[in-house]
C-alpha cells in the first residue's frame, strides 16, 4: 500500500547517524519519517557503552553546538566522566563518558519522541522507490510504500552483515538483530562502489564473578565534567568507577594456540578491521614483543552486572574466549554473559558522495554513518546531522551546507572521506585536523552555534544560553583588559608569591592571565568579581593564554582562504613544475584539481609542493 502521508525526508535506521539525521531534518522544519527495524533499539550502542574520547569528543560537542542529541543523552546516561589529556593543551583535551546503555538509549528515544515534525515507524526498509534517476521513497518489508523527496540511509553494520565466532558464522546486523539482506542486494544493483569492512566486540562478563580487589580502580574526575554545552552535573545519574587489569603471557599463548580457528587468521573474514581498535588476536600478532595489554573493565550500566572488558575484542571460538578471559588477573572465575564476535558488512566508497553526503549517482539519496566506511558512534552521529540537514534543505529548497576543514572536525572528516576514500574503518583523531588550536572541543559552540541558528538547526533555548555565554565572555574580557594591578599594592603582593619575579610595573588582568605561573582563578577576583558562568570563564582563560598561537593559526587560515580560489588552469602542465615529485605530478595530472585548495587536499600533497605550484603559477603570468 501507499502510505497516505508524504514526507520531505525519510531516514532509514535508528542508530547514531539515523537519530541525528532525523532530528536535524525535523528541526529545520522538514516533515520527517524515521524508519527503523525496532523502536526498542533506537540509539542502541552496538559495542562499547562510551561516548567521546580523543578526537571523538570534538565531534560530539560539534553535534551539540548544532543542537543535536548525542551530548545531551550522554549527560543523562553517563556514569563516569573524565577529561583525557587534561594536563596537555586545550586542543587535544577530550571529554569521555562511560554510559549506562539503557539510560542513554532512553534519553535518545525521549528526545526523538518529543521532536516536532518527526514520526517514527518500525519496519525494515527493503527497497527504494525511484522516479527516473532520483529517489522518491522507500518500500518496507511488508510492502508499505513511503514517499519522500529525500532519503537518508544509515544502515550501520547491517547491510549484508555476517557475524563470526571462531569458524562459525551466520547472517546478522549485530548480535540479536537481523541483517539487511534485500536492501543490500538492491543497493549492489545501483552504480555504487561497494566493499566489505569488519569490526568486533569483546565478550561481556558478569561482575559478580570478578575479583575487583586485584584491579586498579579508575574513578571519574571531580568535579564531574559535562558533555553538552547545555548540560549540568545535576542531570548525571550516580557515578561509578571503572577498573584496569592486564593480559599476560599465558593469555597471549592461549590466543596464539587458537589462531588456527580464528576467522581472521584463516582467511574466512575478508573485510579490513579498525586499525585503532584492534582485536586482541591482532594486538598479540602486531605487538609480539609486548608481554601485557591493558584491559579497561567498564560497567555497562547501573542496573546490570554486565561488564565491558575494553581491550579484548575477539572473534576466536568461544572455548578460546573462555580460556583467555579466565587467564586475566581478576577474571579467574569470570562468567561470560555474551561471547565476543566480529561482524563483516557492506560499506560504500565515500568518494561517490558530495560534501553534503548526497550520493553522486542518485539525486536525493544521502548516506551517513558506518556505511560510509567510518567507525564509531560519534563519527556516525556527526555525519547523520549533516546528511539530515542537507536532505531536508534539498526537500525544502534551501541552501545546502557543510563546514570547511578550518571550521569543524565534521568538515575534516567529510573532506577526508570524500577526497581520499577509505580502505579501513575511519575514526577521528585530533591529528587529522590541520587547525587543531582553532578546532577545540571547548569552543565548538563558538564555532558553530551561530551558523546552526541561521540554518534553523538551533532552538531558542540553546540560542539564549549561547548568547548569554558570549555576552558574559565579551564583558569579562573587556573588564580584564581595563583593570590594572599596580606594583607594591595588596593585590600585587597576592600575586608576587606565585610569580618568579615580583611585579615591576603595572599590568592589566588580561596580561597577567597570560603568564605561565598564573591562571584565571588567581587573577580574576583580585579586583572586581570573576564571571559566574564556568564555561565563559574557561573560554576567557584559553583565549588569553593561547592568543599568540591562536592568532597565528587564524593568519594561516586567512592565507589558505585567499589561496582557496586561486584557479589551476585546465591545461596546467605539471610536468614543467620543477621540484615536484613524479608521484605528485601524476596525481595532479590525473585528478586535475580546479583550485589550489583542491590540489592541497590530494593525498601526499605538502605545503612545500603547494608553494612550488604557486611560484610556477606566478611565473606563467
Ligand atoms: P548503527 O548504530 O549500526 O545503526 C544502524 C541502524 O539501522 C539500526 O538501528 C538498525 O536496526 C537500522 N537498520 C539497518 N538496516 C535497516 C533497514 N533495512 N531498515 C530499517 N532499519 C535498518 N565502533 C567503534 O568506534 N569501535 C569499535 O570497536 C566498534 N566495535 C563494534 C563492534 C560491533 C560488533 C559492532 C556491531 C559495531 C562496532 N562499532 C565500533 C561500531 C559502532 O557501533 C558504529 O560505528 C555505530 O553504531 C554506527 O552508527 P550507525 O548509525 O552508522 O549504525
For ligand 1, pick from 198, 340, 370, 387 the residue to mutate: most ligand atoms within 8 Å of CB.
370
- In angstroms, what CA-CA distances link 240 with 71, 79, 103, 237, 314? 19, 6, 14, 9, 26
Flag whether 68 is marked binding.
no
Give dist(CA 284, CA 252) in Å, integer.
Answer: 6
Flag whether 516 is marked binding.
no
Of ligand 1's atoms, which has the minimum distance to the CA of residue 15?
4
Ligand 1 centroid to residue 297 C-alpha, Å: 22
Ligand 1 centroid to residue 157 C-alpha, Å: 5
Ligand 1 centroid to residue 282 C-alpha, Å: 22
Please count the other Cβ atoms lying within 10 Å of the Cβ belonging to residue 486: 11
- In angstroms, what CA-CA distances link 372 with 47, 182, 197, 347? 18, 19, 10, 6
Q: How many CA atoms lie within 13 A of 176 on its CB side?
A: 10
- In angstroms, what CA-CA distances link 103 with 99, 576, 618? 8, 62, 60
Q: Indicate whether residue 41 lines ligand 1 (CB < 6 A).
A: yes
Q: Indicate whether residue 46 lines ligand 1 (CB < 6 A).
A: yes
Give dist(CA 161, CA 141) in Å, integer.
Answer: 17
Ligand 1 centroid to residue 514 C-alpha, Å: 45
Rg (CA), the chain: 26
Query: Can you list the residues of the chain whose pLDDT is less than 70?
Result: 607, 621
For ligand 1, pick from 10, 11, 14, 15 the residue to mutate: most ligand atoms within 8 Å of CB.
15
Ligand 1 centroid to residue 46 C-alpha, Å: 6
Closest-CA residue to 420 (of 409, 412, 410): 412
Which neighbouring-strand residues pair with 243? 217, 297
Ligand 1 centroid to residue 174 C-alpha, Å: 7
Closest-CA residue to 477 (of 526, 524, 527): 524
Give the SS3 label for residue 120: strand
* φ and ψ of 301, to 5 deg: 170, 175
Query: Ligand 1, atom 18: nearest CA belongs to which residue?
Result: 125
Give dist(CA 339, CA 337) in Å, integer.
Answer: 7
Give the SS3 label for residue 107: helix
Residue 63 has which C-alpha cell? Answer: 553535534
User: What sign has the CA pseudo-torsion 487, 524, 517, 431?
Assistant: negative
Flag whether 285 is marked binding.
yes
Flag whether 282 is marked binding.
yes
Bridge-based pairing of strands 2-12 and 32-36 is parallel
Flag whether 281 is marked binding.
yes
User: What sign has the CA pseudo-torsion 473, 475, 476, 480?
Assistant: positive
Of ligand 1's atoms, which has the minimum distance to the CA of residue 140?
19
Q: Indicate whether residue 109 lines ligand 1 (CB < 6 A).
A: no
Q: How far apart are the first and last CA of the chain?
A: 64
Contact 122, 128 (CB under 8 A): no
Give dist(CA 107, CA 104) in Å, integer.
Answer: 5
Query: Ligand 1, atom 25: nearest CA belongs to which residue?
Result: 376
Flag whether 594 is marked binding.
no
- In angstroms, what CA-CA distances link 67 with 64, 81, 339, 386, 409? 5, 21, 37, 12, 16
Contact 187, 177 (CB under 8 A): no
Please count the other Cβ atoms lying within 10 Å of the Cβ belonging to residue 459: 13
Flag whether 280 is marked binding.
yes
pLDDT at res. 615: 83
Q: Indicate whether residue 18 lines ligand 1 (CB < 6 A).
A: yes
Flag whether 15 is marked binding.
yes
Q: Which residue has the cell 607594591?
A: 488
pTM metric for this prediction: 0.93
Give dist(CA 614, CA 579) in Å, integer.
Answer: 12
Q: Indicate whether residue 54 lines ligand 1 (CB < 6 A).
A: no
Residue 366 has which C-alpha cell? Answer: 544521502
Bridge-based pairing of strands 294-299 and 145-153 is unpaired
Q: Indicate whether residue 577 lines ligand 1 (CB < 6 A).
A: no
Give dist(CA 343, CA 173) in Å, integer.
Answer: 8
pLDDT (tens digit per residue) in 416-451: 999 889 989 999 999 889 889 999 999 999 999 999
Query: Ligand 1, atom 28: nearest CA belongs to which residue?
Result: 277
Q: Indicate whether residue 183 lines ligand 1 (CB < 6 A).
A: yes
Ligand 1 centroid to residue 158 C-alpha, Å: 7
Ligand 1 centroid to residue 298 C-alpha, Å: 20
Ligand 1 centroid to residue 453 C-alpha, Å: 29
Q: Indicate whether residue 157 lines ligand 1 (CB < 6 A).
A: yes
Q: Indicate whether residue 158 lines ligand 1 (CB < 6 A).
A: yes
Closest-CA residue to 312 (of 303, 321, 304): 321
Q: Indicate whether residue 154 lines ligand 1 (CB < 6 A).
A: yes
Q: Indicate whether residue 49 lines ligand 1 (CB < 6 A).
A: no
Of ligand 1's atoms, which has the minimum distance to the CA of residue 157?
3
Q: Indicate whether residue 425 lines ligand 1 (CB < 6 A).
A: no
Per DSSP, 51 falls in state E
Amino acid at each position: 500500500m501507499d502510505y497516505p502521508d508524504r514526507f520531505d525526508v525519510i531516514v532509514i535506521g535508528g542508530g547514531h547517524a539515523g537519530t541525528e539525521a532525523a532530528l536535524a531534518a525535523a528541526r529545520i522544519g522538514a516533515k520527517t519519517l524515521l524508519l527503523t527495524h525496532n523502536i526498542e533499539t533506537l540509539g542502541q550502542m552496538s559495542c562499547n557503552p562510551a561516548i567521546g574520547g580523543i578526537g571523538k569528543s570534538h565531534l560530539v560537542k560539534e553535534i551539540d553546538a548544532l543542537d543535536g542529541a548525542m551530548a545531551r543523552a550522554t549527560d543523562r546516561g553517563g556514569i563516569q566522566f573524565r577529561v583525557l589529556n587534561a594536563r596537555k593543551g586545550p586542543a587535544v583535551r577530550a571529554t569521555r563518558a562511560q554510559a549506562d546503555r539503557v539510560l542513554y538509549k532512553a534519553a535518545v528515544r525521549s528526545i526523538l519522541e518529543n521532536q516536532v515534525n518527526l514520526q517514527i515507524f518500525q519496519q525494515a526498509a527493503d527497497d527504494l522507490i525511484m522516479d527516473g534517476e532520483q529517489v522518491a521513497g522507500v518500500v518496507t518489508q511488508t510492502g508499505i510504500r513511503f514517499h519522500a523527496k529525500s532519503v537518508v540511509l544509515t544502515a550501520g553494520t547491517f547491510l549484508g552483515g555476517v557475524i563470526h565466532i571462531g569458524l562459525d558464522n551466520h547472517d546478522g546486523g549485530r548480535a540479536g538483530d537481523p541483517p539487511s539482506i534485500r536492501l543490500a542486494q538492491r543497493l549492489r544493483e545501483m552504480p555504487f562502489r561497494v566493499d566489505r569492512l569488519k569490526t568486533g566486540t569483546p565478550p561481556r562478563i558478569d561482575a559478580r564473578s570478578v575479583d575487583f580487589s586485584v584491579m586498579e580502580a579508575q574513578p571519574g574526575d571531580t568535579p564531574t565534567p559535562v558533555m553538552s554545552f547545555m548540560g549540568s552535573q545535576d542531570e548525571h545519574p550516580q557515578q561509578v568507577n571503572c577498573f584496569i587489569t592486564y593480559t599476560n603471557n599465558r593469555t597471549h599463548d592461549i590466543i596464539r594456540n587458537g589462531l588456527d580457528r580464528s576467522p581472521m587468521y584463516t582467511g574466512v573474514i575478508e573485510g579490513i578491521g579498525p586499525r585503532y581498535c584492534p582485536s586482541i588476536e591482532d594486538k598479540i600478532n602486531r605487538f609480539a614483543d609486548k608481554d601485557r595489554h591493558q584491559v579497561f573493565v567498564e560497567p555497562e550500566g547501573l542496573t546490570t552486572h554486565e561488564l565491558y572488558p575494553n581491550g579484548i575484542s575477539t572473534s576466536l571460538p568461544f572455548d578460546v574466549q573462555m580460556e583467555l578471559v579466565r587467564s586475566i588477573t581478576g577474571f579467574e572465575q569470570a562468567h561470560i554473559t555474551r561471547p565476543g564476535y566480529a561482524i563483516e558488512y557492506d560499506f560504500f566508497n565515500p568518494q561517490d558522495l558530495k560534501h553534503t553526503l548526497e550520493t553522486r549517482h542518485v539525486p536525493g539519496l544521502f548516506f551517513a554513518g558506518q556505511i560510509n566506511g567510518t567507525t564509531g558512534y560519534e563519527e556516525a552521529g556527526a555525519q547523520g546531522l549533516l546528511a539530515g540537514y542537507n536532505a531536508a534543505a534539498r526537500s525544502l529548497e534551501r541552501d545546502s551546507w557543510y563546514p570547511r576543514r578550518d571550521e569543524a572536525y565534521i568538515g575534516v572528516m567529510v573532506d577526508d572521506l570524500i577526497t581520499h576514500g577509505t580502505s579501513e574503518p575511519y575514526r577521528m583523531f585530533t591529528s587529522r585536523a590541520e587547525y587543531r588550536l582553532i578546532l577545540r572541543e571547548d569552543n565548538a559552540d563558538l564555532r558553530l552555534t551561530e551558523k546552526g541558528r541561521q540554518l534553523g538547526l538551533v532552538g531558542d533555548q540553546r540560542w539564549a544560553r549561547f548568547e548569554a555565554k558570549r555576552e558574559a565572555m565579551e564583558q569579562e574580557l573587556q573588564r580584564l583588559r581595563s583593570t590594572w594591578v599596580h606594583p607594591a599594592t595588596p593585590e600585587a603582593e597576592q600575586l608576587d608569591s606565585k610569580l618568579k619575579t615580583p611585579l615591576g610595573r603595572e599590568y592589566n588582568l588580561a596580561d597577567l592571565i597570560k603568564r605561565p605561573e598564573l591562571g584565571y582563578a588567581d587573577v580574576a577576583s583580585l579586583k572586581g568579581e570573576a564571571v559566574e558562568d564556568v564555561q565563559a570563564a574557561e573560554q576567557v582563560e584559553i583565549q588569553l593564554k593561547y592568543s599568540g598561537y591562536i592568532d597565528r593559526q587564524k593568519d594561516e587560515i586567512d592565507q589558505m582562504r585567499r589561496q582557496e580560489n586561486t584557479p589551476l588552469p585546465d591545461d596546467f602542465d605539471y610536468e614543467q613544475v620543477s621540484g615536484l615529485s613524479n608521484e605528485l605530478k601524476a596525481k595532479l595530472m590525473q585528478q586535475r584539481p580546479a583550485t589550489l585548495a583542491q590540489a592541497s587536499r590530494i593525498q601526499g600533497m605538502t605545503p612545500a609542493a603547494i608553494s612550488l605550484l604557486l611560484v610556477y603559477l606566478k611565473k606563467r603570468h
